[in-house]
Amino acid sequence: MKEEQHLSVVDPVTVGLADWEIWQTAQRLSRRTIEERLRVVRQFHVESGVQPAFAEALDVVRWMAGHEGWSDSTTVTYSSYLSAWFRWLNVTDRRPDNPMVKVGTPRAPEREPRPIADRDVPKLLSTRMWGSTRVMILLALLAGLRVHEIAHVRGEDFDLVAGLLWVRGKGRKVKSVPLHPILREIAANEMPLEGYWFPMRGCPSEPMLAKSVSDVVGRAMRRAGVRGTPHSLRHWYATALHDDGNDIRVVQELMRHKSISSTQVYTRVTDARRREAVAGLDLM
C-alpha cells in the first residue's frame, strides 16, 4: 500500500507543465514559443524554490528583482510568459487567481532598429566563408528572414515560376515573400530542390538549430568586422526598403509584421538624416 502511495505522488510542476504544453500545442502555438515558455517557468522554479503552480505575487517580484542584469526586453518577455502560465492555471480552474495582476506589466522598452551599416553589406559578403553561410546571410538581407526561419528553409518552399518564397514565421503563419533575383538564382542552381537547405549535421531529415544559424552568421560578421547581430541583417532589409521610398504598408507585408506598429520603428528619422537636415539650413 505504501509503495502504491509512493508511486502515485507526482511533482505538480511536471504535471502542470506537461498539461500546459499539450494545451499550447492544441492552440497551434509555435514549438519555439512553447519551449521558451516552459524553460522560463522551470527557471523560476529552480531559482525561487517555489512551485510555479502555487506561486504568489511576491514570489514573482522577488525572482524578477533578483535579476538586475536582465535587459528591459527580457524582463517584459519573461513577465509575459509567466502571465500566460498563470492565466492558463486560472482558466483551467487549477487556481482561483492570477498573481500577475498584482505584479503588473513591466514597461516595454522603446525599440529602435539596429541595422548593419550600408557600407558593411559588401564588406560582409566579400569575406571568406562557407557557401552555406553566405546563403544564410543573403536570406536575411534579401528576404528578411529570422534565424529560426532560415534554419527551416526547404527546397519545397521556393516557387520559382511565381518567384516566391513561402516562409513559416511566428505563430506558424505561412506567408510569401517575393524572391530577389539573387535568391532565385541560388534556389534554381545552387541549393537542393527538396529537403532542408541547412540540415542538422548527421541528420539530414532534421533542420539546423536556430541558435546554430545565429552562431554561424555571427562568427562570419565578427570575422568581417561588422558590428551587430544576425538579426541586424533583417533590420537592414526593412530599413533599406523604407529608405528606398517604399510605402510603410509594403514594408509591413514584406517584413510579415502582424501589426503596423512593429514596422513603424523603421520610419523613425535617423541621426544621419537629422544631421543632413540641419547642415542644409540656408540663412541667405
Mean pLDDT of 256-261: 83
208 vs 93, 169, 277, 281, CA distance in Å? 39, 16, 46, 52
Please report, for the chain, the start and end positions of each structural domain, with discontinuous segments joined by +.
Answer: 2-103, 120-274
Q: Can you tell me the distance from the alpha carbon of 211 to that of 261, in angstroms, rounded to the nearest whole number?
A: 27
pLDDT digits (tens, 9 = 90+) for 19-61: 999 999 998 888 888 999 999 999 999 999 999 999 999 999 9
The fold of the 120-274 domain, in CATH, is hpI Integrase; Chain A (1.10.443)
Question: pLDDT of 127-143, one tens digit each?
Answer: 999 999 999 999 999 99
The per-residue pLDDT for 1 is 40
User: Is there a shared CATH topology between the 2-103 domain and the 120-274 domain?
Assistant: no
Does residue 167 have a pLDDT over 70? yes
Q: What is the CATH number of domain 2-103?
A: 1.10.150.130
Confidence of residue 7 (pLDDT cuts 50, 70, 90): very low
User: For residue 283, is pLDDT > 80?
Assistant: no
Q: Please, what's the largest Cα pairwise distance for the chain? A: 98
For residues 144 and 232, the answer to whether their CB atoms sit within 8 Å is no
Please name every residue paired with 167 in a beta bridge, in sequence order, or none if there are none: 175
pTM for this prediction = 0.67
Q: How many CB atoms lie within 10 A of CB 169?
A: 19
Question: Using CA atoms, how far apart are residues 202 and 45, in angstroms rounded to an integer?
Answer: 35
Distances in Å between the Cα of 105 and the Cα atoms of 72, 82, 281 are 12, 11, 44
What per-residue string of b and e applies to 115-149 under the rule 16 or more CB within 10 Å gives b? Answer: bbeeebbeebeebebeeebbbbbbbbbbbbbbbbb
Dig out the grid coordinates for 271 from the structure. Answer: 541621426
